[in-house]
Structure 1
């Protein structure tokens, strides 16, 4: 390598900082909670040197699903590796019952099946698409429920006529557009909002039940996210400072006090 090439590489690496890495990690989602790992507080630390980026991740419990854990860690490595000027990326998952196995697999670029071998029954892409569909359902329900609350004259059975152009601008609509794009659904302003993951609409008679099912999916996602955020704050003191305000406006706070528990002898 010439002196010029060496200097250019050094300058390129120096241009990548911790903020750049954290912004890149912001597109990595917890597949079940549908929130960025940066917002959830799962990024424990980022260290950038002239030659490499080292990232440590943490999860709410030591027994979080290994496939979810691997998916997030693998995606984290991929997005940071894609940054211009980054030569080497090390991602390590801390304090998980499969940390050693997952970290070794990531270091070797072995892939999910190569890491878990016979324990990996399915490819992670199948899991990824399952949760993309759930995320779209939840985002759709948020937008339609917001519309119903804002317009008392709008009948539930007429939701099948609502188009993307009818939704108010804001983060709920932005989130829905991203979820639709991830599934390959139309993001045209004239596209119908209330559709399934294949783009099929609903008749007026089908809408009430479909909306209730969508609401159940959204409540499940939101409830799990709230629970996991609390578990992380309990497990890692001060981690609440790394958690961003959620889409629904709930703010994380380490100052939340727990009710005292008294263990009675039997």
Structure 2
């Protein structure tokens, strides 16, 4: 493999990792600074070094994150294998062994785990969906689409146009062009598309099964979603600060 091909493959790996979020924060691990080092060999083997914000991060959340990181990289054409190395965690050796041998969480933590991570993952993803829903609805409102009108909007009523989105609600087109709001809408749509919802299905859903909230309850439900969004944001800022302080204390390699 040429150096140019290696560099291109490394960029593909970084793009894939940018879709992996910390389960507790709903932010990309690349933005949080969790990707400490990344290399791609001439044979297409990936070595990925990751860190967490603290020594005592919950193993089940860490395992979810590392499993997804491994899996998204493995799906990239040209990648022959992935070695994940978690640093600075109280159970790094055990987690690394489980992830790199393809074990599930319940297999790796057979004596401690109460079942697998499916139920936990579903709970976390539901909370992330609602957090992103609140951010998306707020962005729409700033562009002239009130929450009540969103119930009549389908996924196909939103189209990307350059660096903006064009939304059709009640027969009227609204443009979302503020970069921060464009990002908020894009994150919600990305989550929605990941659920493989039909294009003509409702834009606003309340759970992973695609349940549409009743019109009379939408405002109160968005208030609940705001709590999830605020919790994610505060936790993310705290984790960034903890990780920054932690890395600053580490001696240079």
TM range (shorter): 0.7 to 0.9
Indicate the residue corresponding to 1:119 in structure 2: 112
| Alignment partners' CA distance in 1, 2:19 and 2:147 | 34
Greater displacement, 81-90 / 43-52: 81-90
- 1:210-225 pair list within 5 angstroms: 210-225=221-236
**What SS class does the counterpart of residue 62 from structure 1 fall into?**
coil
Greater displacement, 219-228 / 197-206: 197-206
1:126–1:16 CA distance, 2 compared to 1 (3 A): farther
| Alignment partners' CA distance in 2, 1:143 and 1:131 | 18
1:14–1:146 CA distance, 2 compared to 1 (3 A): closer
User: Which of the pair has more CA radius of gyration?
Assistant: 1
1:184–1:23 CA distance, 2 compared to 1 (3 A): closer
1:83–1:179 CA distance, 2 compared to 1 (3 A): closer
Indicate the residue corresponding to 2:185 in structure 1: 173
Do residues 207 (structure 1) and 215 (structure 2) align?
Answer: no
CA-CA distance at 1:60 after TM superposition: 0.5
- 1:1-266 pair list within 5 angstroms: 11=1, 15-17=5-7, 18-51=10-43, 52-151=45-144, 160-164=151-155, 165=157, 166=167, 168-169=175-176, 170-188=182-200, 191-197=201-207, 198-237=209-248
1:163–1:233 CA distance, 2 compared to 1 (3 A): same
Instruction: After superposition, give the CA deviation of every residue in 1:142-174 in whole Å (9 maximum; x if it has no partner).
Output: 1212233444xx766555445553474422222
- Cα RMSD of the aligned pairs, angstroms, is 2.6
Instruction: After superposition, give the CA deviation of every residue in 1:97-147 in whole Å (9 maximum; x if it has no partner).
Output: 110100111232222122111212132232222222222211111121223
1:187–1:48 CA distance, 2 compared to 1 (3 A): same
**What SS class does the counterpart of residue 128 from structure 2 fall into?**
helix
**Number of aligned residues:** 225
| Alignment partners' CA distance in 1, 2:184 and 2:50 | 28
1:82–1:183 CA distance, 2 compared to 1 (3 A): closer
Q: For structure 1, which runs of at least 5 residues remain unmatched after alignment?
A: 1-10, 240-266
| Alignment partners' CA distance in 1, 2:226 and 2:71 | 33
**What SS class does the counterpart of residue 119 from structure 1 fall into?**
coil
**What SS class does the counterpart of residue 27 from structure 1 fall into?**
coil
Superposition TM-score, scaled by structure 1 size: 0.74
Superposition TM-score, scaled by structure 2 size: 0.77
Indicate the residue corresponding to 1:260 in structure 2: none
| Alignment partners' CA distance in 2, 1:147 and 1:24 | 28
**What SS class does the counterpart of residue 220 from structure 1 fall into?**
helix
Q: Which has the higher strand share?
A: 2
Contact 1:42/1:59 (<8 A) preserved: yes
| Alignment partners' CA distance in 1, 2:118 and 2:154 | 30
Contact 1:158/1:204 (<8 A) preserved: no
